[in-house]
Amino acid sequence: MLALFTDFGFHGPYVGQMKAVLHRDAPGVPVVDLMHDAPAFDSQASAYLLAALAGEFPAGTVFLAVVDPGVGTDRRALVVAADGRWFVGPDNGLFALLVRRARTARVWEIVWRPGRLSASFHGRDLFAPVAAGIARDGVFEGAAHGRDIAASEADRAGWPDEYKRIVYIDGFGNAISGLRAENLSPNDRILVHNVEIKGEKTFASVPPNTLFWYANSNGLVEIASNRGRADRQLDVKVGAAIGVVGNQSVTAVT
């Protein structure tokens, strides 16, 4: 299947234009809208989200991932093969955590260019045809269309393994962080704007409008409020820093 991950939103023609190319070049391949409200212009926050979400998809899935504020500049275009899944998009760190955490990874710079290439819409003109070709054929024609580069070049060495910031706020006001819950103790507390938040397993574990954190379905630390909106109660937006309180000490924010 093809999975779309963008910051386009559903307003306007952009998602539809990309889907038209995918259906044209890979007819019959299912197209899944994974998310189109990734943090706008924020490839770093989006990288932690994409890494958490991709693992739920089967091997062979092709992700067309476009969070690309540098579109039209000299930033590279990439194809990444990581643990049996494919990723197509800009070289701006969007695939950094995927490559870093993968057991096996291979990366190509896309050198092929279509006859028409808009300076502002590489998602439609460049990335979509390449993603469709991989989904249709099961391979990337690296010899003809790409140049092998070291997998480490797709990583961002200065980005932390665990991102102590809010990377997404969903429609319920739940604030998702870039921290993997597996690396925290259930007794750890999350610190946001000097508010210490305890961990729980379910929403029903706390009274209405009570803040708590939990391991969400994608393995990330998520801050929520039972039948309330955590984002409003804490006055947080994407990019807000958080800390971890454990053993009477606060882990430094990165």
Task: Give me the pLDDT at residue 208, please.
Answer: 96
Q: Pull the structure tokens for residue 156.
A: 């961002």
DSSP state of 130: H
Q: With 60 as the cut, is the pLDDT of residue 253 above it?
A: no
What would the mean pLDDT of 147-159 be, rounded to a whole number? Answer: 96
Confidence of residue 247 (pLDDT cuts 50, 70, 90): low
Task: Give me the pLDDT at residue 178, please.
Answer: 98
Of residues 20 and 250, more confidence is placed in 20
Prediction pTM value: 0.94
Q: With 50 as the cut, is the pLDDT of residue 250 above it?
A: no
Of residues 254 and 14, more confidence is placed in 14
Task: Give me the pLDDT at residue 143, please.
Answer: 65
Can you give the residue ranges of every domain in the chain?
2-154, 163-251
Q: With 60 as the cut, is the pLDDT of residue 251 above it?
A: no
Q: With 70 as the cut, is the pLDDT of residue 96 above it?
A: yes
Of residues 40 and 251, more confidence is placed in 40
Task: Give me the pLDDT at residue 226, please.
Answer: 97
Task: Give me the pLDDT at residue 207, please.
Answer: 96
DSSP state of 199: B
Task: Give me the pLDDT at residue 142, please.
Answer: 73
Q: CA gyration radius for the chain?
A: 19
Distance CA 51, CA 237 (A): 21
| CATH class of the structural domain 163-251 | mainly beta
% of the chain residues with pLDDT over 90:
94
Per residue in 195-224, is it b (16+ CB within 10 Å) or e — as a string? eebbbbeebeebeeebbbbbbbebbbbbbb
Are both 2-154 and 163-251 of the same fold?
no
Mean pLDDT of the chain: 95
Cβ burial, residue 64 (10 Å; 0-12/13-18/19+): buried
Task: Give me the pLDDT at residue 252, please.
Answer: 47
Whether residue 220 contacts residue 181, with contact meaning beta carbons closer than 8 Å, is answered with yes
pLDDT digits (tens, 9 = 90+) for 187-223: 999 999 999 999 999 999 999 999 999 999 999 999 9
- Which CATH number applies to 2-154? 3.40.50.10790
What would the mean pLDDT of 167-173 be, rounded to a whole number? Answer: 97
